[in-house]
Chains A and B, each alone.
Chain A
């Protein structure tokens, strides 16, 4: 999947991945995609909750070797 911007939130803990993602989304246009890398297991549910409450679309959420990758399309 292609992303317009990438955010490396690995090693960061709650609530920093969400706050950084919010900031990164502000820097891209509507319909563009942000890729987020995280190592915080809590971020899986948190990005679902973030998407639900902000209207941005969580296109995918995957895990490999303790790393989580999210693709989020800006509203």
Chain B
């Protein structure tokens, strides 16, 4: 089908929050009839690992991120815990705590998990490309990643990007 619309996304971020946009956009595009391709490179490789527990969210140095509790009465949930960077940086496990709270908030809001969205992408035949250079650079093995990935270089990305109606760098 030559008139099929095409989307390509370059996914470069390896945190829980930034893992969402590539999978949300690719799965939605596929539902709308697009042929969708995601090229995972640099930290984006974390999004296609078998073990997704490496995806964390960091409020440190991120003033745009509200820190709210996903439990308790409404007035308590409404509080934005504005904790100074210097304190965040010195509390051991602060990122893990923030990640746990974020995952709870995500579930409370009926938002899918990354694993679920990734599966939906695969079911919808979204093509996953991974950057072989950064796989080697970061010391990963192909066995660290889920099945169905093609390991390629920049030239292969352009084979898809050059044909695409929409290309996004995330």
Residues of A within 8 A of B (CB): 11-16, 18-19, 21-22, 39-40, 50, 53-54
Contacts and interface: CB of A to CB of B under 8 A. Distances in A.
A16 B110 contact: yes
24 contacts: A11-B110, A12-B112, A13-B110, A13-B111, A13-B112, A14-B24, A14-B111, A15-B24, A15-B27, A15-B28, A16-B111, A16-B112, A18-B28, A19-B28, A19-B31, A19-B120, A19-B124, A22-B124, A40-B110, A50-B31, A50-B32, A53-B32, A54-B31, A54-B33
A16 B31 CA distance: 11
Interface size class of chain B, counting residues whose CB lies under 8 Å from the partner chain: 10 to 19
B109 interface: yes
Contacts of B28: 15, 18-19
A24 to B, nearest CB: 11
Given A39-B110, A53-B33, A54-B31, 14 more contacts: A13-B109, A13-B110, A13-B112, A15-B27, A15-B31, A18-B28, A19-B27, A19-B31, A19-B124, A22-B31, A22-B124, A50-B32, A53-B32, A54-B33
Interface in B100-127: 109-112, 120, 124
Contacts, number: 35
Nearest to A40: B110
Contacts of B33: 53-54
Q: List 3 A-B pairs, minimum CB-CB distance, nearest first.
A: A22-B31, A13-B110, A15-B28
